[in-house]
Amino acid sequence: MSKATIYDVAGAARVSLATVSRAINNPEKVKPETRERVLRVIEELGYKPNAFAKGLASRKSTTVAVLVPDMSRASIAEMMNGIADIARVYKYSILLYILDNEESTEEDVLKEIIAAQVDGILYLNDEITESQYAFLQTINAEHQIPIVLSNTLYPENDEIPSVSIDYDAAGYEMTKALIDEGRKNIFMVSTVRKYMVNDQKERGYLRAMQEAQLTPKIMRTSGRISINTEHFNEYFRNHNVDGIVAVRDSIAVSFINVARANHVKVPEDISVCGFQNTKYASLSRPNLTCVDVPIYDIGAVSMRVLTKMMNQEPVEDRTVMLDHDIVYRASTKQQKD
């Protein structure tokens, strides 16, 4: 019923199966006349090449693996949309691997990926460590399989290309904006776990504070709301805070809530800003000022870079930094346009 094979097409078009294959994959090598006849038969029969046979014979899968740490981070979903759109344009399928820290280690998953014979790997795990990077390099070298880091970067090394924004600069600008408002006691709220990307934000924050001769203070939270609330409450009792640069929107919103519960006014008494420009930023009251990360584009561009690598095209820029904006809203005093 749906099992038309290349033989059926060849028979119906009265050519050899080699010609059918060429008509599909190297149309220019087939006489237009024949090509059209073949294509028409393909259409009529609803023929779709068997992906396994094709993969086996050609040693190419037209499949890429997307490796993600945990889908539920808001940014990742939107990044997937960008990846999927570009993948579709270039006819790649997406094999999704979600890392859960439980049973299987990342190394196992990567072995699985290799066994699946993907043509390339998109690595969305933003908490990349030295040893993980080294492991990726090994894979890259041993299996000749292109890898791109999506929304992460590994500043010491660009052997594996990466696509993100300049988080260091963004952290700097965001902090500078609060300094320009006259804030003195600006805290960065970062995460306990060390993410490369948050590291960069911290660097930018530190630079801005040092330039302004202010004392930088970084507090680290888990991502969990309930814990944050207590943690932040304590801070209000014991610290003088008039500015917050949070590494994520949701953390910033948590902070706003705690501030207001402590009768501290946002933005009169304290300015709060975040990173990402998720829906949280628009749903919070006051609306959150934040760095607008073009997360869809990061996904799309990193997939595009990967397609180039899979085609052996040269990749001139191995550390792509997309532009970012700062969206000024009501959680800070300074409301530029």
Partner DNA sequence: CTGAAAGCGCTTACAG
Q: Site residues (CB under 8 A) for its own copies? A: 1-2, 46, 48-53, 55-56, 61, 63, 66, 70-74, 76-78, 80-81, 84-85, 88, 93-98, 100, 103-104, 111-112, 114-117, 142-143, 225-226, 250, 253-254, 257, 260, 279-280, 282-285
Considering CB distances under 5 to 8 angstroms, the limit depending on partner class, which of DNA, its own copies, none binds residue 335?
Answer: none
User: 291 forms bridges with which residues in the sheet?
Assistant: 275, 326
Beta strands in the chain (DSSP E): 63-68, 93-98, 120-123, 147-150, 162-165, 186-191, 217-221, 243-246, 271-276, 289-292, 319-322, 325-327
In the complex, the smallest distance separating the C-beta of residue 58 from DNA, rounded to whole angstroms, is 4
CA distances, 231 to each of 194, 225, 243, 252 (Å)? 19, 10, 16, 13
Q: Which does 314 bind (CB under 5 to 8 A by kind): its own copies, DNA, none?
A: none
Tell me whether residue 95 or residue 169 sits nearer to its own copies (CB atom): 95
Instruction: State the nearest-atom distance from the C-beta of 42 to DNA, in Å.
Output: 10
* Partner that binds at residue 279, options DNA, its own copies, none, CB closer than 5 to 8 Å by kind: its own copies
Query: For residues 286 and 165, what is the distance between their CA atoms, to the nearest angstrom?
Result: 26
Q: Which structure tokens are listed for 13?
A: 């078009």
> Using CB distances below 5 to 8 A depending on partner kind, what does residue 213 bind out of its own copies, DNA, none?
none
> What values do phi and psi take at 74, rounded to 5?
-55, -40
Q: Binding mask 20-39 vs DNA (x if CB under 7 A, - otherwise)?
A: xxx-xx--xxxx-xxx----
Strand partners, 218: 188
User: What are the two backbone dihedrals, phi and then psi, of residue 315, each rounded to the nearest 5 degrees?
Assistant: -110, 105
Q: Which of 7, 77, 81, 104 touches DNA by CB under 7 A?
A: 7
Which ranges of 212-294 does DSSP label H, i.e. alpha helix? 225-238, 249-261, 279-283
Rule CB under 7 A: which of 70-129 touch DNA? none
Cα 226–Cα 229–Cα 235 angle in degrees, nearest 5: 150
Binding-site partner at residue 71 among DNA, its own copies, none, CB < 5 to 8 Å by type: its own copies
Least gap, CB of 49 to DNA (angstroms)? 4
Nearer to its own copies, 75 or 271 (CB): 75
- Chain center to CA of 220: 23
User: How far apart are the two ends of the chain, measured CA to CA in Å?
Assistant: 61
- Name the one range near DNA by CB under 7 A: 11-19, 87-95, 202-210, 232-240: 11-19
Amino acid at residue number 232: F
- Token digits of residue 96: 């999704």
Q: Given the rule CB under 7 A, which residues bind DNA?
A: 3, 5-7, 14-22, 24-25, 28-31, 33-35, 47-50, 53-54, 56-60
